[in-house]
Structure 1
Amino acid sequence: MQRITLTEYLARNAGEAALADLIECIASACWSISNLVNVSALAGHQGSTDEINPHGEVQKPLDILADEVFVRSCSANANLSALISEEVEEITWVNPAQTGAYVLAYDPLDGSSNLDVDLSVGSIFAVSKLRSDSAEDVLPNGRNLLCSGYAIYGPSTMLVLTFGDQVDGFTLDDSTDSFVLTHPNMKVPQQACEFAINVSRQRHWDETIQSYVSDCLKGAVGPRQKAFNMRWTASMVADVHRILIRGGVFLYPIDAENAAAGGKLRLLYEAMPMAMIVEAGGGGATDGRIPLIDVVATTPHQRTSVILGAREEIDLIRAAYS
């Protein structure tokens, strides 16, 4: 098979040279973070810090280091105007607001609670454009995202990317320090037999989610008439990556305990980019009422309900809610 590097792929598919350059900066950041993850125990970067992120969560050392890597790598792009990071309360303005300049929303290290037990973690990102010269227009509209992607740091490091038409996966070749296309045109398998949900929150779920999970657990003798496996890694990147490869559905719904906050997962740099990726791969994504990509962002760290995966499962859950 012909080796296609990320650089060659971007030259053909990014459309704008400036966008290709920004994605190269993001890929460089992910390469650096992959190295940091690999040596985290040796470098003494495991455990927790005394710092608290904007969501009231104790930060891991690599949460902070990964955010610094993104800022350092991507700020060099002259067409980047603003950064919206999970780890920083305020929007970081790299250059003045200017119509058409890029906005990068990102979670520098998703699933960092897995670091100390050596499980997969990742980074998530979405790129959009400022709609005007006003800083008020910095929050992206999901349908106007230019591209979305994630990196997963596991047995190998992968970068998964979409411009909205299809999903392509690149594996880091350590011998050349380059990302190479290994998973072209990734599609979500439509016959789901796995679901990913945090069962420790079951007491908070609404009736629709309680019923859905109960029906799955009843197996072949239940209303779904087939056996389901339950998977949960506490890393959205790892769970979504599994769905792209093997199918299934991921659920982190709004529930009685997190309803006041609007849900658990963040819209701009977790839910929205993953929704774009899953939709481009032929799956579906919803907050239970509307397509997840259509949820309107009003604040940088807005939370939302997230249900995404195989299209037939998403349609079933949305029908149950409606």
Structure 2
Amino acid sequence: MLRLRHFLDEHCENADISGIIDGLMVACKDIAYRLHMGSLAGVLGSAEQENVQGECQKKLDVISNDLIKACLKGMPQVKGLASEEEPDPVACNESGRYLVLFDPLDGSSNIDVNVTVGTIFSVLEAAEGADGAHEQSYLQAGQRQVAAGYVLYGPSTLLVFSTGNGVHAFTLDPRIGEFVLQRRDIQVPATTKEFAINMSNQRFWLPEMQAYVADLLKGEEGPLGKRYNMRWIASMVAEIHRILTRGGIFMYPYDSREPNKPGKLRLMYEGNPMSMLIEQAGGKASTAFENIMEIEPTAIHQRVSVVMGSAEEVDNALRYHA
């Protein structure tokens, strides 16, 4: 069994990035333990407060955020951190070279019903003289990420990450408390018959997305010529993990409910890191109109629409939006 630390030593040339990923897993192991304990650990239910996004936080949202913050603050490599749950970035170590952005608990609406959730992270290199507490320091296009990944808390706890040299998956072995290599150099199948989208929002989508999904539902008799299956877990980590495992397309498109916002998901905490993983694995990631990782962000909590997964199916979707 090849353990995470040994794999990073052998395959990641940047010792600082290796240290950040390995160190983050200390907090993620703690989150996994509390999730597996469930109500016995007192982590279920609402925290009875809202985050910066205006969303009601779960108790484990707050706990996970605090655990990851404490972990990152202790790392000499980290100049600053930014959480999806907080309005402003936090400075860490002045001598650090890297900025870490994270969604501490993606899909937290699933916690109380014991369905898969996850942690997402993205690592950027800080510019010379950057302030880890200043939003502007983090406003870098996704193409400048030096690492990205997620931890999936399911029947087993999995780490999936990339440092720009392929995508690799590790499973937490509870017998030894270590992540061990499961798959290396993951590739997303180019074709698929599976899509994931929240159909309850259909009436709010743009006409182009309406037409594409309508043709998916027509199956063999439709212009796409095959029968599709739909999946929806309401956790981006789970949706992307399924695509990295067996292919598919995941979509959270623009809709008219909040016309001033370009999408639902957060560019810096969800769109960019997941796009890096998908593209490193041979898939494609788009807003339906442009490459996600080419967007120059203007705000740390900026939102984005998402269409990502198997390359040929993403191309199908993009043709409807051309």
Give 2:307's aligned residue: 307
Give, in angstroms, the shift of residue 319 of structure 1: 2.4
8 Å CA contact 1:195–1:250 kept in 2: the answer is yes
Give, in angstroms, the shift of residue 106 of structure 1: 0.4
| Per-residue deviation, residues 212-268 of structure 1 (Å, max 9, x unmatched) | 111111111111111100100000000000011111100001111133122100000
Taking the aligned partners of 2:141 and 2:81, their CA distance within structure 1 comes to 15
Q: Does 1:37 align with 2:35?
A: yes
Give 2:78's aligned residue: 80
Q: Does 1:155 align with 2:155?
A: yes
Amino acid at match of 2:44: Q
8 Å CA contact 1:158–1:169 kept in 2: the answer is yes
Give, in angstroms, the shift of residue 165 of structure 1: 2.6
Answer with 112-121 or 137-146: which moved more.
Answer: 137-146
Taking the aligned partners of 1:15 and 1:26, their CA distance within structure 2 comes to 18
- Count of equivalent residues: 318
Q: Report the 3-state secondary structure (helix = DSSP H, G, I; strand = E; otherwise coil) of the residue aligned with 1:239.
A: helix
Taking the aligned partners of 1:305 and 1:161, their CA distance within structure 2 comes to 22
Taking the aligned partners of 1:126 and 1:85, their CA distance within structure 2 comes to 11
Give 1:17's aligned residue: 15
Amino acid at match of 1:143: Q
8 Å CA contact 2:172–2:180 kept in 1: the answer is yes
Q: Report the 3-state secondary structure (helix = DSSP H, G, I; strand = E; otherwise coil) of the residue aligned with 1:146.
A: strand
Q: Report the 3-state secondary structure (helix = DSSP H, G, I; strand = E; otherwise coil) of the residue aligned with 1:46.
A: coil
CA RMSD of aligned residues (A): 1.2
8 Å CA contact 1:129–1:140 kept in 2: the answer is no
Give, in angstroms, the shift of residue 11 of structure 1: 0.6
Answer with 24-33 or 61-70: which moved more.
Answer: 24-33
Give 2:124's aligned residue: 128
Give, in angstroms, the shift of residue 298 of structure 1: 1.2
| Per-residue deviation, residues 92-134 of structure 1 (Å, max 9, x unmatched) | 11123x6x71100100000011111111000000101112213
Taking the aligned partners of 1:84 and 1:107, their CA distance within structure 2 comes to 9
Answer with 130-139 or 21-30: which moved more.
Answer: 130-139
Taking the aligned partners of 1:207 and 1:242, their CA distance within structure 2 comes to 27
Give 2:190's aligned residue: 190
Q: Report the 3-state secondary structure (helix = DSSP H, G, I; strand = E; otherwise coil) of the residue aligned with 2:104.
A: strand
Amino acid at match of 1:232: W
Gaps in structure 1 of 5+ consecutive residues: none
Partner residue of 1:26 out of 24, 27, 37: 24
8 Å CA contact 1:150–1:160 kept in 2: the answer is yes
Give 1:275's aligned residue: 275
Amino acid at match of 1:203: R
8 Å CA contact 1:85–1:108 kept in 2: the answer is yes
Gaps in structure 2 of 5+ consecutive residues: none
Give, in angstroms, the shift of residue 139 of structure 1: 2.4
Taking the aligned partners of 2:27 and 2:140, their CA distance within structure 1 comes to 22
Taking the aligned partners of 1:183 and 1:148, their CA distance within structure 2 comes to 17
Give 2:174's aligned residue: 174
Taking the aligned partners of 2:185 and 2:16, their CA distance within structure 1 comes to 24
Give 1:210's aligned residue: 210
Give, in angstroms, the shift of residue 210 of structure 1: 0.6
Q: What is the percentage of aligned positions where both structures have the same residue?
A: 40
